[in-house]
Structure 1
């Protein structure tokens, strides 16, 4: 048998290191298509001249292009037979990705836990994205629910201990970044680090209705082959599940209205795809300021933000029972770099 049916839960072993296939060279085409798929318009990632004005040699690729590319490499080995991608933790963007860089991915299995149904199990992996020089550009943990091939197989439980958040002292600022002469007019908003208060909730106002064709184009762009995103026979309801990263990018792009100067993603503290997203859903976004931190880079501060993608109202997250409201699609806790 020469074809690959994908791994099932009982095929994983804690400590196993998986080298994922097919390195990917990213370029200006990915940038253009990313900006066409999402209303992305961060000034540093849009303009070489703006990037040079803040100390960089040119415009780097959007941070989520790096994330999606690295994530997509892992799918055939980690989530081809996934039921759902459940969450993220301990993520850090460690170096910019530039047009012409070649990215590859490597994952270590760090946890396994069978679900009560006996039909699935949760797999935790720590994934690293590396460039052509072997530099780690991205490092994160995710966990995913995967189908079992045989219910009778018992797998020993090992749940990893994960940090509640990324220590801001460990955030990596791109080499040379200097926001001391930042042009707020060209960036699109006047708001700086000191203008945001912990506990503040920002309604990003705008909305995007998810289209089937755009979702599948985006998911193919990242070479994500998970069956639930393409094959209507994979779910009992006969619907394609929208790739969670598509929702992340939509929400991040929508957050420009109110957070235009949050130019870089630096840390991924936690994340949950709270409810499934399907074509026809209209996605809105809101953010809550969770914390602030200083960095050693000139003019650069860090904001810890909760980004919520929802079909409902801003500020609404959980019900009285503590569970996510059914209209909430994404709850993402991250650090962003912003001018002070």
Structure 2
């Protein structure tokens, strides 16, 4: 009997299956430092313990996306080791800040399956939950991924495509305990613009770009213990290229969004996300955002906190027109990522 694990193929999944993912991961200050080295992030709450304490968060949380990447990475050996591509996200909520010393572990439930018409691949839908060492939920999310079949002649399962919400209701967003932005220092934060300064429909060109490098994207993927073959092994794809982990593009775009959204300090939820096109080393990534909605639930009165619903778009090469889709309804050329998220900002 083989002692090695080839990973799950499409026919290995069943609806209702619960997977306890291996290798709990303790976050350290090294994760914080490496994240800052790989991505040009400057958001003050994650950068400065003093600033974080001034808004009621002590100890200072790590970047929200560090928690997302670590929790996501736990699922890869069981869900997407044999993936063609990660297709989308929905219903992601960040329940509480993650700090250094926290240990995250992840569990997933298979909530949908649909074989593709080519008979060679299928889409697997999972709902994943990451908890800390105390058993508290740190974040949860739905994602769907296209996975190879081991046996192309294996019968297709009954198609189950789960319903997912188009958007996380702002009433269901969770404020970090103690967060208070009523005495917020915009000078230290790096930008003057608050909740009321943004209008629904407004687009923001984040201007700056970063060229992806082979070493950095593989380092980042290893940092999150993401074992998907397509990110490391040139023999895993017919074109012989290493595919950049989609989360690497998300973090790059989020970091670039500082220029124009410096006060969008915390990600509270991810409503939807699509990796529109593959990214490879040598591509230069730019980003722009569109304000889709604004919310300030009554329960947040007195906290100085509001939420912006933002469409964060990453592009290969800069698109000054900030065009998401062409007249045919298809994504415009150069779009790499279309991410719909809620971010917390001072009012």
State the partner residue of 1:317: 324
- Superposition pairs for residues 7-156 of structure 1, below 5 Å? 7-153=8-154, 154-156=156-158
Q: Determine the C-alpha separation between the residues in 2 that align with 1:164 and 1:189.
A: 30
Q: CA deviation at 1:77?
A: 0.2
Query: Where does residue 327 of structure 1 map in the other structure?
Result: 334
User: Which of 214, 217, 235 is 1:215 aligned to?
Assistant: 217
Quote the Cα distance in structure 2 between the aligned partners of 1:121 and 1:321. 27
State the distance in 2 between where 1:126 and 1:323 align.
28
CA distance in 1, matches of 2:279, 2:119: 25
Asked if residue 300 in structure 1 is aligned to residue 301 in structure 2, the reply is: no
> For 1:171-213, what per-residue CA distance to the aligned partner results, in whole angstroms no more than 9, with x for missing partners?
0000000000000000000000000000000000000000000
Q: Distance in 2 between matches of 1:322 and 1:233?
A: 34
Deviation at 1:326, TM superposition (A): 2.9
- Normalising to structure 2: TM-score of the pair? 0.97
Paired residue total? 340
RMSD between aligned alpha carbons? 0.7
Deviation at 1:325, TM superposition (A): 2.0
Choose the corresponding residue for 2:232, options 205, 220, 230. Answer: 230
Question: How far off its partner does 1:152 sit?
Answer: 1.6
Secondary structure at 1:232's aligned position in 2? coil
Alpha carbons 1:49, 1:58 under 8 Å: kept: no
Q: Deviation at 1:248?
A: 0.2
Residue in 2 that maps onto 1:240: 242
Deviations 1:54-81 (A, max 9, x none): 0111210100000000000000000000
Aligned mates of 1:202, 1:215 — CA distance in 2: 26
Alpha-carbon deviation of 1:40? 0.7
CA contact (8 A) 1:70 1:104 kept: yes
Instruction: Please give the residue correspondences for 1:143-222 in structure 2 after superposition, counting only pairs within 5 Å.
Output: 143-153=144-154, 154-222=156-224
d(CA) in 2 for partners of 1:208, 1:155: 43
Ranges in structure 1 where 5+ consecutive residues have no aligned partner: none
Give SS of 2:99's match. coil
Q: What CA deviation, in whole Å up to 9, does each residue of 1:253-285 have, x standing for no partner?
A: 000000000010001100000000000000000
Q: Deviations over 1:111-170 (max 9, x none)?
A: 000011110000000010100001110000000000001112221110001111100000
Structure 1 Cα separation of the partners of residues 66 and 215 of structure 2: 19
**In structure 1, what is the Cα distance between the partners aligned to 2:104 and 2:195?**
32
Question: Which residue number corresponds to residue 4 of structure 1?
Answer: 5
State the alpha-carbon separation in 1 of the partners of residues 330 and 125 from structure 2: 22
The alignment's TM-score, normalised by the length of structure 1, stands at 0.99
**How far off is 1:322 after superposition?**
1.1
For 1:136 and 1:234, how far apart are their aligned partners in 2? 34
Rounded Cα–Cα distance in structure 2 between residues aligned with 1:229 and 1:326: 23
Moved over 2 A (4+): none
Secondary structure of the equivalent of 2:207? Answer: strand
Q: Deviations over 1:207-242 (max 9, x none)?
A: 000000000000000000000000111111110100
Q: CA deviation at 1:319?
A: 1.7
Partner of 2:251: 249
